[in-house]
Structure 1
């Protein structure tokens, strides 16, 4: 998410300076690779890179090819085969063992819905959007349709070229299916052997409702910003909840527990962290949080504190959705100190939202990305 945000931001810098650029997108991977389909890198005519398509082994060559695309103003597909261990050019340094297909598109500023603008639309609302990218994997192909459409629940945004391509109709017509996808898929176009469509859901960034403005919440906000997540900070003390202590936080509210949730809107990508160190404040908060569709509610502190909160609410007639409440919150990684605890908590949030067990990767039987 952070990578896409940075690409969009850099695009506007190039636009302001009239500096030509191209977008490189991983569209298909066979075997193992550091990045998966949907990884992107923006390349300027002067060689500046934003984002990445690998762990570093492909960027140099992709940069040169992107500059050629900028010069010719014509999209191309580049295939990197890292399965040959005798190949000293790619993959050997990282131990890659896959075939990576990368689409490189020149960005035309005058195109109203160029690939970057479609990305921006996809990130513009707190709802899942789907990007459609059409590619011909034949290395001799002279035409690459490229990133053509952004599909949202209520509307579709099609580039001028997309409106002329019948190939996309089968995807655009099934909006409900598209917006239900959790991860990218690439589908062969039935009528063409080498023509594929990358169907890529773009989910809203995680939004943390962070209750508590003590020193231990500062690392949470910093790590969240590194991930491109949004943070709304709420505390009853104006001496603590302010921009001086929490620069870069999206929103800061000084509120009592009774008013803490006023005007807040939850969705499937919103989580709540109770870190106030104030039992009564959090007991009131939890009453308001329980009915909301939050996939994760974290409670800082010992387990007996959470059990005491549950007991109070049950005595008032509330049913406790234990499957959505994590108290104590965080992964059991031996965290000590506010920075390590923040790492533990945000890692748990990511595991919960991705429906992962948060175990050791070495214990997986198959590829790391097999079930993403």
Structure 2
């Protein structure tokens, strides 16, 4: 099951270091104009030709990969600027289709001795803070833990370089799903591809195999799953296709701090569930409940339902207004 986003890059960086593969992290420091990504975007390049993460539609990556490999071999931080904002690029036939500028730092990860520890903390839900100085100093931090690495560096090639850039990689979104069903084989891989971590809570033998699609699959009750020593959850989805199991999950979620609770099924099903839930539970759920969960995209069947739910979560998690 592939993963995407910052999660894919950071997990690949740990795997490369554990294999002993030379790996260079490309960090976008600044952008202007029309660019494929914004400041804070990450990509990983290694000496074996592998790449994880994209900083363009594919047109800029060969040049970045070459510079990343050079930085790794030289054992120093490198800075590069890619500027495609000018008409001359269009007239000469060298334009890549975007009129923008990227300023990038290339960090050989072998020089950051505690990089894996910082990524592990990020996996547990801590934001990863990264400071890059124009003299090659790299600061890593999570929670109250900080480290400073003074590395050899080539000076930034642009004249107006600032002395320090600060990047924060937010923790991967965490989604807990109560109940497997026909949508699960499509929804869980899709959420992972967007970079989320997924937990499936399912006790029915019929759906036991669906746990292989999630990062975690505890055979617990909803109450047990919500108090287990796991990371906090950003989103909860209730989708058992079973009235009593959905009621049990909603009852448990009423006292949780989860800000987005999605309930699969029509409005009539929600109303029937609310009739059997206590009043205080209904009041606790209502401000956070999205029912029916999913955007109205059209189509029918489990594939379309999974896509509609994933689309709504993408909008919710990235702050796009409805």
Length-normalised TM-score, structure 2: 0.84
Stretch deviating more after TM superposition (326-335 or 3-12): 3-12
Alpha-carbon displacement from aligned partner over 1:206-250 (angstroms, at most 9, x marks no partner): 2222111222222111212222322221223123123xx442422
CA contact (8 A) 1:133 1:149 kept: no
Distance 1:86 1:123, change over 3 A: same
Q: Aligned-pair distance for 1:97?
A: 1.8
Residue 139 of structure 2 aligns with which residue?
148
Indicate the residue corresponding to 2:130 in structure 1: 131
1:216 aligns with 2:183: yes
CA distance in structure 2 between the partners assigned to 1:352 and 1:59 by the alignment: 30
1:2 equivalent in structure 2: 4
Cross-structure match for 2:276: 312
User: Relative to structure 2, which stretch is displaced further, 293-302 or 124-133?
Assistant: 124-133
8 Å contact kept, 1:91–1:97:
no
Q: 1:340 to 1:119 in 2, by over 3 A?
A: farther
Q: In structure 1, what is the Cα distance between the partners aligned to 2:235 and 2:251?
A: 15
Alpha carbons 1:209, 1:231 under 8 Å: kept: yes
Deviation at 1:157, TM superposition (A): 1.8
Given the alignment of the two structures, is residue 273 of structure 1 paired with residue 237 of structure 2, yes or no?
yes
Query: Deviation of residue 255 (structure 1)?
Result: 4.3
SS in 2 for 1:86: helix
Change (3 A) 1:13 1:322: closer
CA contact (8 A) 2:71 2:78 kept: yes
Structure 1 residue 103 corresponds to structure 2 residue 95: no
Separation in 2, partners of 1:228, 1:282: 26
| Unaligned segments of structure 1, at least 5 residues | 137-142, 163-191, 359-372
Distance 1:328 1:303 in 2: 6
- Cα offset for 1:259? 5.3
Q: Which moved more, 1:9-18 or 1:269-278?
A: 9-18
Q: Which residue of 2 aligns with 1:161?
A: 150
Q: Give deviations 1:167-192, integer Å, cap 9, x for gaps.
A: xxxxxxxxxxxxxxxxxxxxxxxxx9
2:166 alignment partner in structure 1: 199
2:26·2:42 contact (CA, 8 Å) conserved in 1? yes
> Over the residues paired in the alignment, what is the CA RMSD in angstroms?
2.9
Deviation string 1:310-356 (CA, Å, 9 cap, x unpaired) is 33335467424433100000011114111121111121122122231
Aligned to 1:249: 214
Q: 1:300 Cα shift?
A: 0.7
Structure richer in helix, relative to its length: 2
Matches of 1:156 and 1:98, distance apart in 2 = 36
Count residues in correspondence: 312
| Separation (CA, whole Å) in 2 of partners of 1:258 and 1:322 | 19
Whole-angstrom distance in 1 between the partners of 2:281 and 2:72: 64
Q: Structure 2: state its 5+ residue gaps.
A: 152-158
Residues 46-61 of structure 1: pairs in structure 2 closer than 5 A: 46-61=48-63
Q: Is the 8 A contact 2:83 2:102 kept in 1?
A: yes
Over 3 Å counting, the alpha-carbon distance change for 1:57 and 1:193 in structure 2 is: closer
Report the 3-state secondary structure (helix = DSSP H, G, I; strand = E; otherwise coil) of the residue aligned with 2:277: helix
Are 2:4 and 2:53, in contact at CA under 8 Å, matched by a contact in 1? no
* Distance in 2 separating the partners of 1:2 and 1:124: 14
Contact 1:209–1:233 (CA under 8 A) maintained in structure 2 = yes
Cα distance change of structure 1 residues 119 and 26 upon mapping to structure 2, 3 Å threshold: farther
**Alpha-carbon deviation of 1:200?**
2.5
Q: 2:302 aligns with which of 330, 333, 338?
A: 338
Q: Helix, strand or coil: the match of 1:215?
A: coil
